[in-house]
Structure 1
Amino acid sequence: MTLEADVYWSFRSPYSYLATRRYVALCQEYDLRINQRFVYPLAIREPDFFEKNHPNWLRYVFKDVLRIAQYMDIPLAPPNPDPIVQDIRTRKIADEQPYIFSLTRMGQAASHRGKGLAFADEVSRLIWGGVKDWHTGDHLEDAATRAGLEFAELKSEAESRAEELDKEIADNQQALEAAGHWGVPTLVFEGEPFFGQDRIDLAVWRMKQKGLQKR
C-alpha cells in the first residue's frame, strides 16, 4: 500500500533545499508519495521576523547550512539573486519582491500536476547550487523540463490564477500550523510533524511502523 506524506517547503529556505533530494530519494526507494505543499517564506509572512531575532541567529544559520552541505556533499552557494530582496546588513525586507511570488505560485501549479517535489528539487538546485542569474535565460525553463513540466504553462497559470494560488498557499500554511509546526521543511505524516532535514530518518522510522515498504 502506497503511503502518503505532505512536505511543507519554501524556495527561500536553505534547509528546504538540503532536504529535497532526500525526499526525492525516499520516493524512489519506498512505496511513498510526497505531496509538495508550498508556503511563502517567513520574510513574506512575518516581514519583521529577521529584525526581531537575536543578532547571532542569521550568522548561525549561515554556518550551519554550510557545514550540513559539506557533510552531505551537496553543492551550496549564496543565491544570486536571493529569492527574497532583503538588506542583509539591516535585515529589512524590501517592499518590492520580484521573484518569490511567481516562483511559489509556479510551484503550486506544479503540485496540481503531481510534480511539485520534482519542480522544487530542480529549481532549488539552481537557486542554492551556485547558478548565477538563475531567473534569466533558459534556467527555469530547463529546470521545469527536467521536472517533466511545461514552463510556459506554469508561468501562465501563475499569472492568470495568482489570487487562487495565493489562497491555496495560505491554506498550506494553515495546514502546517494545524499539524503543529510553522517552519520549513516540515514533513507531516498522519498528522505528525517532522521539522527539518535532520528529522527525515525519524520520519522514515515512523512510516515503517505504519507499513512503509521498499519498491
Structure 2
Amino acid sequence: MHRADLYFSFRSPYSYLALPKWRAIVRDYDLTIDLKPVYPLAIRQPDFFERNHPNWLRYTIRDVMRVAQHQNIPFGPPRPDPIIQNIATREIAAEQPYIRRLVRTGQVAARRGRGFAYADEVAQLVWGGAADWHLGDHLAGAAARAGVDMADLDAEAERDAEALDAEVAANQEALEAAGHWGVPTLVFNDEPFFGQDRIDLALWRMEQAGLEKRA
C-alpha cells in the first residue's frame, strides 16, 4: 500500500477540479490519499486579493470554468461562497463561519481516516452548482456518503476548535516544508506535485516507486 498527502482547500476551485482524477486513481490503484486541509489565502493572508492584479480573479474564473467544461465536471460558483467577502472591494470579513466549519470538520474527518472521501463529497456540494449547500441536510448527506456522521464532526469541531486549527496550521507548515505553498498539492515521498494539471505526472512517479493497480 502506498500513501500520499493531499493538501486541499475547500475554497479552491482547482482543488475541487482535481478530485475526480484522484478519486479514480484511488479506486483503481493500491493508493491511500490522506487529506491535509489548509485554510485558504483569504484566511491566511486577508489582504491577498486587495494586493493582487485586477485580472487575477477574472482570469481564474474563466479558467476554472473552461477546465470544468473540458473535463465534463459539474461546476458552478459556490452559493454561498465559503469565504464571506465583499467582491467589489475584495475585503475579507472578520467572521468566517462557513470556511472554519468546513476546514475543522475536514480535519476531524482526516483524524478518522475519512478526510479524502469527506472532501470529495463536500466539494461536490460547494462547487457542483448546488444552492444553499450549508442549509438543511446537504452536508449531513455528504458526510454520510463519506462514511462519517456530520453531527459528530460538528460536535468535535466545536469542542476541539483550537487543537484542530493547530493541526491545520501544521498542515500548511508541512506543505511549505515539502517545497510548495499552494493547493491542490499532492506530496509523495517528500516530492510535491502542485495543481490539477500535475496528476498524471504524480501517478507516473508513484508507478516508478512501485504503485500498482488493484487486483
State TM-score, norm by structure 1: 0.98
Equivalences for 1:54-133 in 2 at 5 Å? 54-133=53-132
Distance 2:79 2:101 in 1: 17
SS in 2 for 1:99: helix
1:135-164 alpha-carbon deviations (Å, 9 max, x no partner): 000000010001011111101000000001
Note the C-alpha offset of 1:122.
Answer: 0.5
Match of 1:194 in 2: 193
Distance 1:98 1:159 in 2: 11
Distance 1:53 1:195 in 2: 20
Distance 2:10 2:169 in 1: 15
Match of 1:49 in 2: 48
Note the C-alpha offset of 1:35.
Answer: 0.6
Distance 2:23 2:161 in 1: 27
1:81-128 alpha-carbon deviations (Å, 9 max, x no partner): 000001111111111212011110000000111110110011010100
1:172-193 alpha-carbon deviations (Å, 9 max, x no partner): 0000000011100000011110
1:47-94 alpha-carbon deviations (Å, 9 max, x no partner): 011111111111110000000000000011010000000111111111
Distance 2:172 2:12 in 1: 15
Note the C-alpha offset of 1:214.
Answer: 0.3
**Which one is further off, 6-15 or 88-97?**
88-97
Distance 2:113 2:39 in 1: 20
Distance 2:16 2:82 in 1: 13
Equivalences for 1:9-28 in 2 at 5 Å? 9-28=8-27
Gaps of 5+ in 2: none
One-letter amino acid matched to 2:100 = F
Gaps of 5+ in 1: none
Match of 1:160 in 2: 159
State TM-score, norm by structure 2: 0.98
SS in 1 for 2:198: helix
Query: Are 1:178 and 2:177 an aligned pair?
Result: yes
Superposition RMSD in Å: 0.6
Distance 2:162 2:20 in 1: 30
Distance 1:88 1:198 in 2: 28
Equivalences for 1:28-39 in 2 at 5 Å? 28-39=27-38
Superposition misfits of 4+ residues, deviation over 6 angstroms: none
- Equivalent pairs counted in the alignment come to 214
Match of 2:202 in 1: 203
Note the C-alpha offset of 1:21.
Answer: 2.0
Match of 1:138 in 2: 137
